[in-house]
Amino acid sequence: MAMITYVLIGGYALLIGLASVLQWKEKGYQLRIFIFIILSLSMLLTLWIPDREWLLLLLIVEFILLHVVAVAEGLYTNKQLTYSHHIIRFVFHCILLLMVSKFTK
């Protein structure tokens, strides 16, 4: 189950990074896009931390930052928030954090 947890987090980080790079190519450099790329890379690097407490703490910080940047992106591009998107993102982050706390060593 630990492997599934790492694969889900790694895949999620790769998807965020890929979407950010594609958006960067389309729109050019923007600080929000750069922050998404940095956060996706930091999530991938965080997976190499062997201590579960540090892994959990850093993922919490990264997920909070992802939420903040996603809200900023939504407000900037759409001039409004898509609440269902942020609720689904929050629930997914909670599931990942629960999986880290229960299944990693």
What six digits make up the tokens of 104? 């990693």
Q: Provide the number of structural domains found in the chain.
A: 1
Residue 30 belongs to what domain range? Answer: 2-103
Give pLDDT, residue 76.
87
DSSP for 23-46? HHHHH---HHHHHHHHHHHHHHHH
Please give the structure tokens belonging to residue 46: 């965080």
Q: What is the mean pLDDT of each run of 10 residues along the chain (105 residues)?
A: 94 96 92 94 95 94 95 88 91 95 85
Q: Are 67 and 39 in contact (CB under 8 A)?
A: no
pLDDT of residue 35: 95
